[in-house]
Amino acid sequence: MYCINCGVKLADTEKKCPLCGVTACHPYIKQEEEVPLFPGQRYPTPQLPPRTAQIIITTLFLLPIFITLLCDLQINGAVVWSGYVVGALGMAYAIFVLPYWFRRPHSVAFTALSFMAIGLYVFYINQASGGDWFLTFALPVVGYVGTVVTAVAALLHRLRRGRLYIFGGAFLALGAFMPLMEYLIVATFCRPRFVGWSLYPMTALLLLGAMLIFLALNQPARERMERKFFL
Amino acid sequence: MSPIQNTPGGLRWMPLDNAAKIYPASRSRKWSNVFRLSVSLTEPVDTAVLRSALDVTVPRFPSIAARLRRGLFWYYLQQLEHSPELREESSYPLTPMSKEEVRRCALRVIVYQNRVSLEIFHSITDGNGALIFLKTLLAEYLQQKYGLAIPAEHGVLDRREEPREEELEDSFPKYAGPVQASRKGTNAFRMSGTPEPDGFLNVTCLELPVAEVLSKAHEYGISLTAFLCAAMMMAIQNLQAEQVPEVRRRRPVKVLLPVNLRPMFPSGTLRNFVLYTTPEIDPRLGAYSFPEICRVVQHKMGMEVNPKFMSTLIAANVSSEQIPVVKVMPLFVKNAVMKAVFRAVGERKSCMTLSNLGAVKLPRAMEPYVERFDFILGIQATAPYNCGVISWGDTLYINIIRNIREPELEYHLHCVLRDMGLTATVRSNKGRRS
Write the pLDDT tens digit of every residue in A158-213.
888 899 999 999 999 999 999 999 999 888 887 667 778 899 999 999 999 999 99
What pLDDT does residue A223 have?
A: 84
Residue B259 CA to residue B314 CA, distance in Å, equals 12
Task: Judge whether A8 is closer than 8 Å to chain B, CB to CB.
Answer: yes
How sure is the predictor about B273, in pLDDT bands with cuts at 50, 70 and 90?
Answer: very high
- Is A203 contained in some domain? no
CATH class of B5-174: alpha beta
Q: Are B200 and A41 in contact (CB < 8 Å)?
A: no
CA distance A20 to chain B (A): 7
User: Are residues A26 and A67 located together in one domain of the fold?
Assistant: no
Residue B8 reports pLDDT greater than 60: no
Packing angle, helices A139-158 and A163-189, rounded to 10: 170
As annotated, the residues of chain B forming the CATH 3.30.559.10 domain(s) are 5-174
Write the pLDDT tens digit of every residue in B377-418.
999 888 899 999 999 999 999 999 999 988 999 999 999 999
What pLDDT does residue B7 have?
A: 54
Q: Are A20 and B411 in contact (CB < 8 Å)?
A: yes
CB atoms under 10 Å from CB of B241, counted, come to: 14
**Could you tell me the residue range of the domain that residue A91 belongs to?**
51-103
- Is A154 contained in some domain? no
What pLDDT does residue B1 have?
A: 40
Residue A102 reports pLDDT greater than 90: no
Residue B126 CA to residue B135 CA, distance in Å, equals 14
CB atoms under 10 Å from CB of B380, counted, come to: 20
Identify the burial level of B228 via C-beta atoms within 10 angstroms of its C-beta, where 0-12 means exposed, 13-18 middle and 19 or more buried.
buried
User: Looking at this protein, which amino acid is placed at residue A148?
Assistant: V
Residues 161-200 of B with CB under 8 A from A: 198-200
- Under 8 Å between Cβ of B3 and B14: yes
Task: Judge whether A64 is closer than 8 Å to chain B, CB to CB.
Answer: no
What pLDDT does residue A231 have?
A: 61
Residues above pLDDT 90, as percent of chain B: 63
Write the pLDDT tens digit of every residue in B346-379.
778 889 999 999 999 999 999 999 999 999 999 9
User: Are residues A56 and A94 located together in one domain of the fold?
Assistant: yes
Nearest residue on chain B to A13, alpha-carbon basis? B431
Task: Judge whether A225 is closer than 8 Å to chain B, CB to CB.
Answer: no
Residue B288 CA to residue B83 CA, distance in Å, equals 51
Nearest residue on chain A to B117, alpha-carbon basis? A38
Q: Please, what is the average pLDDT of chain A?
A: 88
* Facing residue for B426 by CB, picked from A10, A36, A40: A10
Q: Please, what is the average pLDDT of chain B?
A: 90
ipTM: 0.76
Give the E-state strand segments of chain A in sequence order. 9-10
As annotated, the residues of chain B forming the CATH 3.30.559.30 domain(s) are 182-305+338-428
Residue A101 reports pLDDT greater than 50: yes
Residue B241 CA to residue B386 CA, distance in Å, equals 20
SS3 assignment, position B6: strand
- Is A3 contained in some domain? yes
Average pLDDT of span A19-32: 79
Write the pLDDT tens digit of every residue in B286-322.
999 999 999 999 999 999 999 999 999 999 988 888 8
Write the pLDDT tens digit of every residue in B176-229.
989 888 878 888 999 988 888 778 899 999 999 999 999 999 999 999 999 999
Q: Cα angle at B387 between B382 and B389, to 5 degrees?
A: 160
CB atoms under 10 Å from CB of A31, counted, come to: 15
User: Looking at this protein, which amino acid is placed at residue B71?
Assistant: G
Nearest residue on chain A to B414, alpha-carbon basis? A8
What pLDDT does residue B183 have?
A: 79
What pLDDT does residue B2 have?
A: 44
B/e letters for B76-103, b = 16+ CB within 10 Å, e = fewer, are: bbbbbeebbebeebbbbbbbbbebebbe
Write the pLDDT tens digit of every residue in A41-82.
777 776 666 678 889 999 999 999 999 999 999 999 888 899
Residue B249 CA to residue B283 CA, distance in Å, equals 10
Task: Judge whether A24 is closer than 8 Å to chain B, CB to CB.
Answer: no
Residue B121 reports pLDDT greater than 50: yes
CATH code, B182-305+338-428? 3.30.559.30
Of A87, A104, A91, A6, the C-alpha closest to A46 is: A104
Write the pLDDT tens digit of every residue in B32-43.
899 999 999 999
Task: Judge whether B391 is closer than 8 Å to chain A, CB to CB.
Answer: no
Average pLDDT of span A141-148: 96
Average pLDDT of span A27-47: 75
Residue B119 CA to residue B97 CA, distance in Å, equals 10
- Is A8 contained in some domain? yes
Phi, psi values for residue B385, rounded to 5°: -120, 155
Q: Are A36 and B431 in contact (CB < 8 Å)?
A: yes
Q: Are A37 and B428 in contact (CB < 8 Å)?
A: yes
What pLDDT does residue B4 have?
A: 54
* CA B189 centroid distance within chain: 21
Number of domains in chain A: 2
Residue A114 CA to residue A120 CA, distance in Å, equals 10
- Is A85 contained in some domain? yes
